[in-house]
A and B are shown apart, each in its own frame.
Chain A
Amino acid sequence: MKVRTVAAVVPLLAALATAVAGCGSGTATGAAPAATGGGGSADPGISKTSVTLGGSYPFSGPAAAYSTLVYGVQAAFDAANAGGGVSGRKIKYTALDDGYDPARALQDAHQLIEQDHVFAILGSAGTPTNFADWDYINQAGVPDLFLISGASNWGADIKAHPWTIGGLPSFVAEARIYAHYLERVMPHATIAILYQNDEFGQDYLGGFLHAIAGSGLKVIAKQDYVVTDPTVDTQVSNLAASKAQVFVDFSTAQFTIQAIKQAASLGWKPLHIIPVPDASKTQVLEPAGLQNSTGIISVDYSKDPTDPRWARDASVQEYLRAVKQYTPKANPDDFNVEEGWIVAQAMIAALKAMKHPTRASLMQAVRTLNVPEGVLLPGVEINTTHGYPIQTMYVARFNGTTWQLLGSPITETRGY
């Protein structure tokens, strides 16, 4: 027995002793590199002819549906590279799989920064996954740009995480826009709410309830579900029983489709609001039934490539051409692909505006960014002084064939 214990402890002590003796000369590769100030020498991942970027996506696992985001990013960068790159630099983009597992997202962040030596992290998708690695990325002094997640946390505390900036419009801002819209058109309406009980739905719900507090709007029924549930038909039946005039629906993917169909087949015809990630005509409204979907309200901030109104728009054509040529497997109607494109365009603009080849200089460019309209709707601007680059949206109504923009664009500055 004794031999075993001694045999175990001795090598450990020896290793520690070696470490102590060799401290200082050892390669302390885990230490956080200090952010180099703007100036001459370049940071890792960037040279005169190339710049390396990376991001982490849920290619496998429960959120695999969002993996198509990377197609939009890839198409944008391939198109830019074909045109000679950005400021003469070709963009190399590495997308890693995190399986929607926060531990793997952290591993991916380590790999991108320490092994692939990326200049910046761009477009990492998902909320819990970004939560797991944003501390590490900020400590390492690497820009963590345009996260594909609408969680309100990214902009809520810029001082603590100066290297991070969100990409999607914040869910809270969107919920507030719905609240103000309802206050305008149906100030005393009764509301039934369905929400996904995770950070996505809770963020929307919190923002919405906060915004309607003190108004004439009344929530008379609330039902929740989790993504591991097979169906929300029962929840919708319960909400329909309340006979509320408004159905605020903070759900995703197949649950939104089920909710639309179930409400219609129950004969319940409320004013139905759905969140913008689920406002895709081909992915959500068509399976649910276009007639069932008539009258649905959401917001809009980008041009719908299937909408004939934008058929001749140069940016939309550019987007469609690039997707067809560089990522032919992608479906350009897929809202995720378009989002990836938008985020990549913002990155390209930031790289162009960057004064020195350093991360600090990139962050400066990002925080003062001015992005051309591109596939964003006219009037929607990218304003990065706050935590959320996109804070302007139109309220939109589906008329059975396309989304109609109602009124002028609304800028919601409260993102959290």
Chain B
Amino acid sequence: MSAANVRPRSKVAALSLPPGTRGPLRIAAVLTVAAFIPFVYSGYTVSELTLVIAYAVATLGLNLLIGYGGQISLGHGAFFAIGAYLTAVLLSHNVVPVIATIPLTGVASFIAGYLFGLPALRLRGIYLGLVTLTLAVAVTPLVSRFTITGGVDGLTVNQPQAPTWLGLSQVQFVYLLCLAVAAVLFIGAGRLVRSEVGRSVVALNDNELTAGAVGVNVTRTKTRLFAWSAMYAGIGGSLYVFAVGFVSPDSFTLTLSVWFLAAVVVGGRRSIAGAIIGGLAIEFLPVYAAKVDEALTGAIYGAALIVCIYVMPDGVVGAARRMKAAASVTPGAFKRRAGRLEQRLP
């Protein structure tokens, strides 16, 4: 059934594009809109959205692990914190130029994820969850103890400065910088998922034994996925530091790891776009909850999470996919398919 044989009857289908361009065009559209945001909205909204980008990148990492890999991690806040603290320490000592902190953080988080994953990934399900939980809880006491990480007071760092020839304000520059990094990571994730590694991962997720039987190196694939996932979280932490300019032990509690998990579920598993929804949820759900009633913020976003799961058990993206699938079964299409079927019957 090649693309050439399909005869589009409806008007929308007539806009058929050459294969392989739909995806990139969608990405281009999203990026264009996103890139214009800092010039349209106030500095306050732009700084909020910069944080959304940072959270979305980390959520994407977790989504790769959970949605595609079928693993679980209650400790991704820890990798986010590692990335954030590493970037903060590098920036506060002026060791490397700002832009270099991202690849450095990426590599360090990848290694950290790999080292942690090697022993941890022998576990599954709730046990893997528990062992990653210990990681999340261990972060705060450890960074509070050492002076290089600023101890209990934390570290204030200089945020990336906009080069004067660009003529941007600092808030705009930081936003666009984070957007650029995030774009690379998101597109990279898309490619990763469709690559051989990605297919191995999904195969592994579906059935570990058969995957192993057909030659997938189970241990290596799982550990590499975990490492990639940790890398994304670490770079998310880096972007967080660019956006906020401050790290402290209070910024990275267990609650953060829990929020990343909730973001994956709310956004939609096995969806790269879902990570963006997740990032938006992490940033804005508490803010809107506080607007409703400051004294009940926790209750409101707790209830929101519960309602979200009722109404959209497979996340926002999942619900959107279902709606699209339902919409494609229009009466016209149904009749056409029925007609073609009639032709084939004797």
A binding-site residues for B, Cβ under 8 Å = 1, 3-8, 10-12, 14-16, 18-20, 22-24, 26-31, 59-62, 67, 95-97, 99-104, 106-107, 110-111, 114-115, 128, 131-132, 135-136, 153, 197-199, 202, 226, 228
Which of B151, B152, B171, B179 interacts with A12 by CB under 8 Å?
A: B179
Determine if A31 and B169 form an interchain contact, defined as CB atoms under 8 angstroms apart.
Answer: yes
Interface centre among A3, A11, A67, A96 (most CB of B within 10 A): A11
| A60-B298, A99-B286 given; A7·B246 CB < 8 A | no
Which of A8, A61, A97, A131 interacts with B28 by CB under 8 Å?
A: A8
Please classify the interface of chain A as helix (H, G, I), strand (E, B), loop, or mixed, using the class held by over half of its residues: helix
Interface centre among B24, B29, B187, B250 (most CB of A within 10 A): B250
Chain B's closest residue to A96 (CB) is B290
Determine if B44 and A110 form an interchain contact, defined as CB atoms under 8 angstroms apart.
Answer: yes
Determine if A29 and B294 form an interchain contact, defined as CB atoms under 8 angstroms apart.
Answer: no
Mark B9-53 against chain A: 1 for CB-CB distance below 8 A, else 0: 000000000001101110111011001100100111011100100
Q: Which residues of A contact B141 (CB under 8 A)?
A: 226
Chain B's closest residue to A196 (CB) is B152
Known: A12-B31, A30-B46. 18 other contacts (CB 8 A): A1-B191, A7-B25, A7-B27, A11-B28, A11-B35, A15-B176, A29-B169, A30-B172, A61-B255, A96-B290, A102-B154, A102-B244, A103-B244, A103-B251, A106-B47, A107-B287, A199-B153, A226-B141
CA distance A75 to B165 in the complex (A): 50
Which of A28, A95, A102 interacts with B169 by CB under 8 Å?
A: A28
Determine if B168 and A97 form an interchain contact, defined as CB atoms under 8 angstroms apart.
Answer: no
Determine if B24 and A7 form an interchain contact, defined as CB atoms under 8 angstroms apart.
Answer: yes
Determine if A5 and B187 form an interchain contact, defined as CB atoms under 8 angstroms apart.
Answer: yes
Q: Which residues of B contact A115 (CB under 8 A)?
A: 42, 44
Q: Which residues of A contact B184 (CB under 8 A)?
A: 8
- Residue B248, interface by CB 8 Å: yes
Chain B's closest residue to A202 (CB) is B152
CA distance A7 to B186 in the complex (A): 13
Please classify the interface of chain B as helix (H, G, I), strand (E, B), loop, or mixed, using the class held by over half of its residues: helix
CA distance A10 to B179 in the complex (A): 14
The 3 closest A-B pairs by CB, nearest first: A23-B167, A30-B171, A15-B35
Determine if A132 and B167 form an interchain contact, defined as CB atoms under 8 angstroms apart.
Answer: no
- Residue B295, interface by CB 8 Å: yes
Determine if A131 and B35 form an interchain contact, defined as CB atoms under 8 angstroms apart.
Answer: no
Which of B44, B48, B187 interacts with A4 by CB under 8 Å?
A: B187
Q: Which residues of A contact B152 (CB under 8 A)?
A: 197-199, 202
Determine if B250 and A102 form an interchain contact, defined as CB atoms under 8 angstroms apart.
Answer: yes
CA distance A199 to B154 in the complex (A): 10
Determine if B172 and A19 form an interchain contact, defined as CB atoms under 8 angstroms apart.
Answer: yes
Which of A4, A106, A131 interacts with B154 by CB under 8 Å?
A: A131
CA distance A1 to B42 in the complex (A): 35
Chain B's closest residue to A200 (CB) is B152
Determine if A3 and B20 form an interchain contact, defined as CB atoms under 8 angstroms apart.
Answer: yes
CA distance A101 to B298 in the complex (A): 14
A362 to chain B, nearest CB (A): 22
| A1-B191, A8-B187, A11-B31 given; A27·B39 CB < 8 A | yes
Q: Which residues of B contact A60 (CB under 8 A)?
A: 286, 290, 294, 297-298
Q: Which residues of B contact A111 (CB under 8 A)?
A: 44
Q: Which residues of A contact B180 (CB under 8 A)?
A: 12
- Residue B131, interface by CB 8 Å: no
Interface centre among A96, A99, A101, A103 (most CB of B within 10 A): A103
Determine if A3 and B47 form an interchain contact, defined as CB atoms under 8 angstroms apart.
Answer: no
Determine if B183 and A8 form an interchain contact, defined as CB atoms under 8 angstroms apart.
Answer: yes
Determine if B44 and A114 form an interchain contact, defined as CB atoms under 8 angstroms apart.
Answer: yes
25 examples of A-B residue contacts, CB within 8 angstroms: A4-B23, A6-B24, A10-B28, A12-B176, A12-B180, A14-B35, A19-B39, A19-B172, A22-B39, A23-B166, A23-B167, A23-B168, A24-B167, A29-B42, A101-B250, A102-B251, A103-B240, A103-B243, A106-B245, A128-B250, A131-B156, A132-B156, A132-B246, A199-B152, A226-B141
B261 to chain A, nearest CB (A): 17
| A114-B44, A128-B248, A131-B156 given; A8·B294 CB < 8 A | no
- Residue B221, interface by CB 8 Å: no
| A12-B179, A60-B298 given; A197·B166 CB < 8 A | no
Determine if B167 and A26 form an interchain contact, defined as CB atoms under 8 angstroms apart.
Answer: yes
Determine if A132 and B183 form an interchain contact, defined as CB atoms under 8 angstroms apart.
Answer: no
Mark B153-185 against chain A: 1 for CB-CB distance below 8 A, else 0: 110100000000011111110001001100110
- Residue B92, interface by CB 8 Å: no
B21 to chain A, nearest CB (A): 6
CA distance A412 to B54 in the complex (A): 45
CA distance A198 to B250 in the complex (A): 10
Determine if B294 and A97 form an interchain contact, defined as CB atoms under 8 angstroms apart.
Answer: yes
Q: Which residues of A contact B25 (CB under 8 A)?
A: 7
Q: Which residues of A contact B36 (CB under 8 A)?
A: 15, 18
Determine if B43 and A114 form an interchain contact, defined as CB atoms under 8 angstroms apart.
Answer: yes
Q: Which residues of B contact A11 (CB under 8 A)?
A: 28-29, 31-32, 35
- Residue B205, interface by CB 8 Å: no
Determine if B51 and A135 form an interchain contact, defined as CB atoms under 8 angstroms apart.
Answer: no
CA distance A62 to B244 in the complex (A): 21
Within 8 A of A (CB), among B236-261: 240, 243-246, 248, 250-251, 253, 255
Q: Which residues of B contact A19 (CB under 8 A)?
A: 39, 166-168, 172
Q: Which residues of B contact A24 (CB under 8 A)?
A: 167
CA distance A27 to B167 in the complex (A): 11
Determine if A95 and B294 form an interchain contact, defined as CB atoms under 8 angstroms apart.
Answer: yes
Chain B's closest residue to A57 (CB) is B294
B104 to chain A, nearest CB (A): 22
